[in-house]
Amino acid sequence: MQIFRHIAPLKAFLSERLAHRGSVGLVPTMGYLHRGHLALIDASQKQNALTVCSIYVNPSQFNNRDDFDQYPRSLDDDIAKLEIAHVDAVFCPDDVVMYDREPGIQIGFGNLALGMEGKYRPGHFNGVALAVAKLLNIVEPNHAYFGQKDWQQIVVVREMVRELKFNVDIKVVPTVREQTGLAMSSRNARLSPAGRDAAGVLYKALTKAGASLREGKTIEEVAGLVNSLVGASGVTTLEYFEVADSETLRPIKSVKEAASPMLFIAGYVEGVRLIDNLFL
Ligand code: AMP
C-alpha cells in the first residue's frame, strides 16, 4: 500500500498504474475507520482494479469549531487497517495541500440543502462539495463510494456530479450497524458504553416509524411516536425527524406524495450528534 500526502506523487502513481487500464475507485473518508468505511472499501475493491482511500478531516464542512476539534482522529491505526484491507493507495493530505488559501467560491444546492443537515449545519454541504470536488479532480476515479447513512450528502454529491459533468459514477453502500441497530460512525467513539446502548433508540425509532407508516398511520402520528420513544431514552435532544422524498428531499405530509419516501433522524446522545435514515 502506498501512502501519499501530496497530489503530484499520487497522480504519478495512478497514471503509472493506469497504464495497465483498470478502473479506479475512490473512498473518501474523514478517518477513524470502522466497519462502515471498510464496507465502502470492499465494494470498491470488487468493482475496480485500484482503490484509493482518502483520509481528511475537512474543516470547511464543520459549522461548529468544537465538533471539528473533538472529531476523533487516529491516522496510524487507520493506515494499519487499510494495509490489512489491501487498499492500493491512501491519500492523507494536510490543510495546506487541500486549501492553499481560503476558498473564494461556494457551491450551493438550493432546495436540496434547505432542510435537515443543511438547515442544522449551515455551510456543511458547501464544505462537503468543495472537498469532494477536489478529491474527484485529484484522483479522477471511475467510481466513488459513499454510505447511505449520509443520504443527503449522496443526493448533493450526485447533483454536483451531474451539474458540473464530473466523469464519475457515484455508488451507494448500505449502512453498517452495531448489534443494537446504531449506525456505525466515527463519532460513536465519543459515547460511553451506556450512551452507545441508548443511541440504538434512533434506529429503533426509525424502524417503528416505518412499520407504523406501512400500517397506515399518518406522518404526524408517527412523528409523535418517534418523539416519545426518543424522549424516554438517553437521547437528550431530538434535532429532527423528517419524512421526505429520497430524491428531491422535499418533506412530505403523506407517504402517498412521494415515489420513494425516506425517514430521516438526527439527535444528540451525551453531546454527540448522530444521524440515521431508512427507506420506507
Ligand atoms: P466519514 O468518515 O464519516 O465522513 O464517512 C466517510 C464515508 O463513509 C461516507 O460516505 C459515509 O457515508 C460512509 N459511512 C460512514 N458510516 C457508515 C456506515 N455505518 N455504513 C456505511 N457507510 C458509512
Residue type, 146: F
210 Cβ below 6 A of ligand 1: no
Furthest C-alpha separation in the chain: 58
71 Cβ below 6 A of ligand 1: no
Q: Which residues are catalytic?
A: 37
User: Ligand 1: which residue has its CA nearest to atom 19?
Assistant: 184
Cβ-contact 144, 28 below 8 angstroms: yes
Strands (E), the chain: 2-4, 24-29, 50-55, 89-91, 143-147, 169-173, 235-245, 261-269, 272-279
User: Ligand 1: which residue has its CA nearest to atom 18?
Assistant: 36
117 Cβ below 6 A of ligand 1: no
Cβ-contact 226, 209 below 8 angstroms: yes
pLDDT at site 34: 98
Q: Which is the closest atom of ligand 1 to the Cα of 37?
A: 8
56 Cβ below 6 A of ligand 1: no
Cβ-contact 92, 56 below 8 angstroms: yes
CA of 36 to the centre of ligand 1 (A): 6
Q: CB within 8 A of 232, min separation 6: which ones?
A: none
Q: Which is the closest atom of ligand 1 to the Cα of 146?
A: 10
CA of 92 to the centre of ligand 1 (A): 17
pLDDT at site 18: 80
pLDDT at site 241: 98
pTM over 0.75: yes
118 Cβ below 6 A of ligand 1: no
> What letter does residue 122 receive in the DSSP assignment?
T
277 Cβ below 6 A of ligand 1: no
**Closest by Cα among 18, 16, 38, 13 to 27:** 38
pLDDT at site 19: 67
User: Ligand 1: which residue has its CA nearest to atom 6?
Assistant: 29
pLDDT at site 233: 86
pLDDT at site 222: 98
Q: What is the pLDDT along the chain (280 residues), one digit of tens a residue?
A: 999 999 999 999 999 988 667 899 999 999 999 999 999 999 999 999 999 999 999 999 999 999 999 999 999 999 999 999 999 999 999 999 999 999 999 999 999 999 999 999 999 999 999 999 999 999 999 999 999 999 999 999 999 999 999 999 999 999 999 999 999 999 999 999 999 999 999 999 999 999 999 999 999 999 999 999 999 887 778 999 999 999 999 999 999 989 999 999 999 999 999 999 999 9
44 Cβ below 6 A of ligand 1: no
CA of 155 to the centre of ligand 1 (A): 14
Cβ-contact 89, 10 below 8 angstroms: yes
